[in-house]
């Protein structure tokens, strides 16, 4: 599987994921509160970004860096947002 450092990292990461799932399962869902809808919206946005990042990582060739810019946020250094069309990605 790898050297001791890699095995330790793997074990710690799996332990943290297990703790995370236990926390999710045993946390009560309070449906009557007003924070539920913004919380679900934020969760969906985060999950979407995570899934996009996984697909970009999977589709990147082995000798290239994994880089991708979100449309509309890609040119924040200029102080304003600019939207790109999908055909411009990777240029």
pLDDT at 69: 59
Chain centroid to CA 73: how far? 16
Per-residue pLDDT of the chain (91 residues; tens, 9 = 90+): 578 888 889 999 999 999 999 998 998 887 888 888 898 899 999 999 889 888 877 877 777 776 665 555 555 555 454 444 555 555 4
Going from the C-alpha of 41 to that of each of 37, 54, 72, the distances in angstroms are 6, 20, 19
Task: Please report, for the chain, the start and end positions of each structural domain, with discontinuous segments joined by +.
Answer: 1-30, 33-91
Q: State the pTM of this model.
A: 0.46
pLDDT at res. 23: 92
Please give the pLDDT value at position 81: 47
Q: What is the pLDDT of residue 64?
A: 74
């Amino acid at each position: 599987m790898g050297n001791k450092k890699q095995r330790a990292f793997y074990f710690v990461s799996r332990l943290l994921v297990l703790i995370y799932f236990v926390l999710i399962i045993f946390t009560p869902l309070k449906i009557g509160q007003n924070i539920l809808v913004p919380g679900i919206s934020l969760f969906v946005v985060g999950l979407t970004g995570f899934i996009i990042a996984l697909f970009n990582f999977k589709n990147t060739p082995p000798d290239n860096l994994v880089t991708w810019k979100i449309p509309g946020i890609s040119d924040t250094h200029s102080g304003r947002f600019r939207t790109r069309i999908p055909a411009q990605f990777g240029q």
